[in-house]
């Protein structure tokens, strides 16, 4: 537990900037978390209810898969995976930025 804090160098920003940033960090989820969660919900809707957009059908066959099998098994999960990778990349980059300040591991 201490390892994490010890390897974090102290930031040299002004205290007021730190306080403002810390307030933003600590009290609510980051905007990107909300954004990627909303995208997930939209993708889930499209995934679960393609019948709302398209006629329920087998054709066209894509890579041998019937259309809806491709939709459920490949297409929507691929988009969701990209969504999650983008989330992870952004948040990791942000965690690394935050490590320029001395933080407890739970902050």
Partner 1 sequence: MDLLNSPYLSIAIIAIYMILVVYIGTIAWRHFPQSDPESYLLARRGLSGWVSSLTIQATQISALTFLGFIGSMYTFGISFWQAIMGYLFMVPLLWIIFNARIWKLGRRFGQVTFGDMVAYYFGNNRWVAATIGFAMMLALIPYVQAQFAGLGYVIEIASGGIITFNVAIIISYLVMIFYVLMGGMRAVAYTDAFQGILILGGLIGGGLLMVLIGAGGFGNAFDNIITTEPRRVLVAELGPFGNWLYLFTWAVAVNLGWPLHPHMWNKQHIARHIEFTRYLPAIHMLQVWLIFIGAYFISIAGLNILPGLNPLQAQTVTVDAAIKVFPLAIVGIFAAGGLAAMMSTVAGQIHSVGTVFARDFLIKFIQHLPEERQVWWTRTVILAHGTISLMLVLSGETLLTTVGALAAGLGVQILPVGVAVLTNQRWVTASGVIASIISGIGISVVLGLGWFNGFINTLIANTCPPSGACSPGGIFYAFYALILNTVVLIGVSALTHDRPDPQVRAQYAQVGW
Query: Site residues (CB under 8 A) for partner 1?
Result: 1, 4, 25-30, 33-34, 36-37, 40-41, 43-44, 47-51, 56-58, 61, 63-66, 68-69, 71-73, 77, 80-81, 84-85, 87-88, 91-92, 95, 104-107
Residue with smaller CB distance to partner 1, 13 or 42: 42
Cβ 31 to partner 1 shortest distance, Å = 11
Cβ 10 to partner 1 shortest distance, Å = 18
Residues 6+ apart with CB under 8 A from 86: 36
Q: Which of 41, 47, 70 lies closest to 57, judged by CA?
A: 70
Q: Which of 67, 95, 98, 79 lies closest to 36, judged by CA?
A: 79
Cβ pair 11, 18 in contact under 8 A:
yes
């Amino acid at each position: 537990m201490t390892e994490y804090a010890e390897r974090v160098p102290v930031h040299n920003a002004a205290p007021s900037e730190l306080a403002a940033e810390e307030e933003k960090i600590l009290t609510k989820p980051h905007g990107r978390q909300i954004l990627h969660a909303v995208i997930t919900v939209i993708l889930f809707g499209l995934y679960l209810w393609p019948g709302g957009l398209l006629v329920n059908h087998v054709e066209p066959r894509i890579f041998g898969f019937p259309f809806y099998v491709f939709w459920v098994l490949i297409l929507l999960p691929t988009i969701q995976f990209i969504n999650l990778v983008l989330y992870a990349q952004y948040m990791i980059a942000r965690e690394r930025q935050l490590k320029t300040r001395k933080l407890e591991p739970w902050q």
